[in-house]
Structure formats: structure tokens, C-alpha cells
Amino acid sequence: MSKDRPLGNIINLRLIAVLVTATVLIMAVFEAYRIYLGQKQFERSLEVQVQQIAERISSSVKPSIWSVYSKSIERSFSQDFASAILDSELKSEYLVAIVVYGNFGQIYMGKVKVDEGIYAPYEDARREQLLQQSDLLKSYPIKFETMTLGKVELFIDTSVFRQDQQEQLILELLQAAIISVFFVMVLFYAIKRALLAPMGRLQIAHRTFEHMGEAIAFTNVDGKIYDTNPAFRQITNLSGEQLHNCNIQDLFPGKLEKVIPMSSVPFGNSHWEGEAECHCANTEAVPVWLTISRVDDSDSSREGSKEFIFLFQDISSRKEAEKKLERLAFFDVLTDLPNRQYFENELETSIHMMNRSHQKLALLFIDVDHFKHVNDTLGHAAGDEVLVEIARRFKSRVRESDFISRIGGDEFTILLKDVEDTQQVARLAQELNEIAAEPIVIRGIVFKSGASIGISVYPEDASNASELIKNADIAMYHAKEKGRGQHSFFSSDLNAKVESYFELKNKLDLALINNEFELHYQPKVDLFSHRTVAAEGLIRWFTSDGRKIGPDSFIPLAEETRQIIPIGRWVLEQAASQLARWSSDENFQDLELSVNLSAVQLYDDSLIGTLQKLIEDYGIDPTKLEIEITETAIMQDTDLAIHILKKIKREGIKLSLDDFGSGYSSLNHLRLLPVDTLKIDRSFMAGAKEGNVSGSILTSIIKLAERLSIEVVAEGIEDRKHLEFLKAQQCARGQGYYFSPPVKIADFEKLVVDENRGSNGSSQETIA
């Protein structure tokens, strides 16, 4: 650009110089011709004026000269009158002197202009001076009819005219200069727009042509190259000499065939573009994006008037990037296996192929067992190592015709094509179970995993790809239920079970909205006074169609789907509301109320906030509320569970360890747990007798709790034998169907009121 700018300035300066010179010459010629015409006009005008002056003088002096008529004319023209005429004529700006001669050459009279309005008689001695002062000397005869009586000489000075002419010339030159400058500027910009601007654009086009990253070549209709840009020579590795007489056909074999049809079509259709390979010198073919355009000469009748532009750019990097993107889009980065999208495409294609060949297709849906445990304990990097190793093992067992993929997380799929029988699939699944179960060493730690495999077969188990995946997934979950490290084939029974599962889940979503839950109450009884001292709130579900669904059916599902969080919050709110009502009634104000808390609720971050809000909103005594939590819930994360239980305890809420004896908690954990009550699992009551194992364990638990100052509540009291046994062991509280099943609030409150009335009556009778 720095070289191009001075060149443009030089062109502009030259153009201005040419325009100025041409304008000056034109104006000079015009002004010279105008001066010439003015001079001629002045001379003609002066000649006329001088002649008229001479005639007037002749007329005035003729009578004086011709004395013969001096008396006959009655002295019409006297010498004084003639002299006055001369004075009058000398007022002309061009006359310097007037001399009148007689017939014989004697001076008759003469006047000289001394100054403006001052005249003196003519003297012959001043003739030379007058001649030097004058520019012209005109002489005219004085005639009377055919006779010459004398002559008149006029001394003429044109200096005034010349001075006026100079002043006029200067003024006109100034005007001409101003007009010329304006004219030159207008003409300059007009020419620049008409000539220089296109030239500038042409220069820009040329520079663009030279610096474009795309290769450009111009050819004639036969494909002969006659011009190229540097990018073309760089991409093709050809020098200018090598391109001499080179044909574009040599670089793009077969592409000249695109040009031939373009030679005869209308200009609007004379364009083609697409991918091509450029066969460059000393290199492999380079992929390029090629555009071919036809350029028609304005003289279309001229032979060979059609020319072609070949424009292309190297797309090697783009093609490489597309390959990488395609791999990222269709392959898993970690295991280098096909991903979900690739798997789904392959599954659709395989099903179409199987339909044509009437063969079977098996889908193995694989989930790595205990993978979450690896991630949680050793970190995600260790989990990645496990996935890579599992993928390697699976890949080593499948055939080349089979298709293995990782579809996400710890899930893999394998497509088995041309399946002859299910035994073949079962054998492979068993092999995969075995190699997945082999120990994996991660950072010096031996880790044993496994795989749960679900199998569905097309077309027996499904009619399309999505259904085949769904059914294999159902079978995989069944394999997990069987104990992990197993494989399971899909069946209609499994499908019915899954459909029932999702039907129940959908109903559970609506249960809270439709107010289908109820809280039933089972009394906790003082075993010695038979008085109800507390109650356990137990949730019951009655669907809108009146069907009762037991807690054992929906609680595990609610915990799995975390629907237990809003359900458990509802139970806590119902309990708080009931305690608030009881607190104002003397029949119930001493009662405690306990509710069960699932493991999911225990570890939920919102639990403590929910309890605090309920205590504040309902104004209840927190010591009247008891939370029951199972051993198994605490064992999931003992340290965290103890931390949460202590926070609950600080709110004043009592804690009860439910189903004690059924889990695996140690006595050390029992010492650390901030619990107020142990609820002995009902399984011990079923066979408890004096001296047998269950009875001995039950006795030990009661004594242990007594030493730890923990209250004991025995569950599952079904008959009087259970009651008497517990009383013998000094167990203070219990609950069971012997006293009352869980009942609605109205029935529970009636039971308590009846107890109070009976107690009052007994007291009055005793007093009486």
C-alpha cells in the first residue's frame, strides 16, 4: 500500500498539470483573440471618429480659407468660430493637436492640448515633440466640391486606450484565473470519477487478485491458463514458467468437462462449484473447493470470446477438522468406542438389514456394578480407569461383525448380528460377566467390579429400535435385582412388572396433589398401666378409586425416586399439626407422637430447616415429637448420620432407633448415637420365650438399654404371652395389635378418651 499511494498522487499531479496547462492555453488563445478583436474594433471606431472630426473641422475652416466666399456667405464661418471648433474637438481623449493647412501648405491655424481643458496655438517647433507623443498622425484634405483648399492634420495619442485595455486585461485575467481554477477542479473531479476511480478500482482489484488466499486462474475456452495469482502458484507448487502453456485439465482431470456445457448456456447458468482434487506438482492430490465461472467478452461474436475463472481454496484443514468433529460426534473420548448417537444409527441400520435377511439381532445392555462406589471412594479419575479397562475387556470378546459402544456413564451396549439362537447370546453374556468380575488394580488397590447384562432379541422382543433398547434396559435392571453380576433375557413378565412400576410411580406423583394419603395412629402403651402414653403416626394410601396400597409397596419406590422427600415432609407437617391440636386438649396434651424418617430424608439438606420451621409455625413442644430412624439408614454413612442426628437432638426433638437388632450396627455405634429410645424389631417377639435364643437376645437388649439410660419400646406384641414376657423383663413400653392396630385419628382419640374415662371410674371406685 505504501508504494501504491505515491503512484496515485503522481497520477493526480500529472492530471492537474495537464488540465492547468490546457486551461491556460485555451484561456490565452481566447484572450489574445478577444484583444485582437478589441484592437480592430477600436481602430475602426477611431478611424470613424477621426474622420468625423476632420470633416467637422473642414466644414468650419473652409469659409475662412476660401476668401472668395468670405463676404458672400455673410461671414457664417469666421476664423474665431473655426478656432472654437478646434478647441471643442480637442476635448476628445485621443486627440493631442489639430493643424489646418492652406492650399499652399501654409499653416492656417492649429491648436495643441497642453492639459485637460487647456489649449495653446500650434507652433511648428513643437512638431517633433507632438510626433513622439502621438501614436498616429492622420491627414485629411479640405475640399470644396472638386477643389482642394487645404488639409487637416490630427495628432492622435492612444495611450489612454492602451491603459484602459491593460486594466481591462488584468481584470479579465483575474476573472479567467478564478474561472479556470473552478473549471480545473470541476474537470479534475469529473475526470477522476470517470477515469481515475475506475483505474483505482482496477488497481484494488489487481491487488486483491494478488493477495487473495484463494487460488485463481484465468483460462480460455480450451482450458489454457494465461493468468494466475500467487496463491495458485503456491498451492499447485508451479512456477510461472511451468504454468506457461499449462492446461487446467492437467490439474483437475475431468473438471474441464464441466466447462464445455457452460460454454453454450445462458450467462446466468454459467457457474459450477463443488469439491475437487487438485493434482499439484510433486505432491499428493489436495482436496479443494472449486468454483468455475464463465466470463463473456462484450464482443460475443468474436471467436474465443468466452473465458473461464477457476477459483479454489485448499480445504485440507477443514476436511481434517470435519473428520475430528465426526469422531467427536460419534465416538466416546474416554474409551474410543462408538457413542450413543453412533449406536442408535447403527441399531436402526442393523434392524433394516435384519428385516431384509430375515435374521435375528440381539442387544446386550450392560451396566457396570458398584461403579458409583469407585467414583465416590477413589475419585472420577479412578472411575475412568475402570471404564477403560472394562471397555478393553469387552472389546476383546466380541466379533468384528458385532458392534460395541459406550452410551453414557457406566453403560455399554453390544449389538450381535445374525444371531442363530439365544444360547449363543447367553454364552457371550456369561463370558462378559466373568471378565467383568475379574479384579482390577487401580493405584495399587485391587477392586472387584462386575456387570449386570440385560438382553433383548429382535424381532421377538421388539418391533423397533427404541422398544428393543427399552426392553434390554428392563432386563438389565432385573439382572441387578437378581444380585448383580448376572445376565437376564427380557420377557413379557418383566415388561408387566415394569409397567406396573411406572403406573405406581405416576399414581404416586398425583397422590399428594389429590390428598390421597392419611396418617393412622398406633398406640404406644405403658405395659404396666395399660395406658396409652404415645402414638406412632403411620402413613396409609387410599387411591381415588378407593383401593388401598400398602406402605411396603410404595415406600421403597418413593425412596428410589426421591418422592419420599415431599411425602415425608407432609407426614412431619401432619404430625406437627396434630400435636398442636392435642396441646390444647387435656385428654391428649401429655401424649408424644413419633413418625418414621427414611434414609433419603435423613441425608436431605432441607431436613433440619423443615423441622425448625414446623416447630416455629405450629408452636409445638419439640420434646413431644419423636423421629424414628432405622439402623440400616444410619449405616449408610455413620459419621454423617450421627452429625445430623445431633443437630436434630439440639432442636429438642427425641430420637428413636427403629427395628433395633435387624441391622448390623455395633454396640460402639449405639454408644455414640444420641438416641432416646430403642424399638426392638418385631422379629424377636415372634419366637421369644423364656430361655430360647430370641428371648435371650430380647432380654439382653432391654438390659443394655437400661444401662445406657435408653428407653425401650417393644414392637409386635400380638398376644398376652408377649405382654407377660416383656413385663417379666421389665420392658416398660410396647405396641402391637394386642392393644390396637394403626387406626384413623378419630378412632385413636376415642380409644384414649375411653381409657381416661375408665381410669377415672376405677379411681373413684377405689376411693369409694
**For residues 449 and 388, is the Cβ–Cβ distance under 8 A?**
no
* Helical pair 340-357 and 465-481, crossing angle rounded to 10 deg: 110
- CA pair distance 220, 266, nearest whole angstrom: 18
**For residues 347 and 469, is the Cβ–Cβ distance under 8 A?**
yes
* Residue 282: predicted pLDDT: 66
Computed over every residue of the chain, the mean pLDDT equals 81
Place of cell 476383546: 396
* Residue 126: predicted pLDDT: 81
Question: Can you name the residues that pair with 287 across neighbouring β-strands?
Answer: 277
Taking 50 as the pLDDT cut, the residues of the chain under it are 1-4, 66, 68-77, 265, 267-268, 303, 761-768
**For residues 443 and 382, is the Cβ–Cβ distance under 8 A?**
yes
pTM (predicted TM-score) = 0.51
- CA pair distance 247, 226, nearest whole angstrom: 9
* Residue 2: predicted pLDDT: 43
* Residue 762: predicted pLDDT: 44
Place of cell 405395659: 527
Helix, strand, coil % over all residues of the chain, rounded to 5: 50, 25, 25
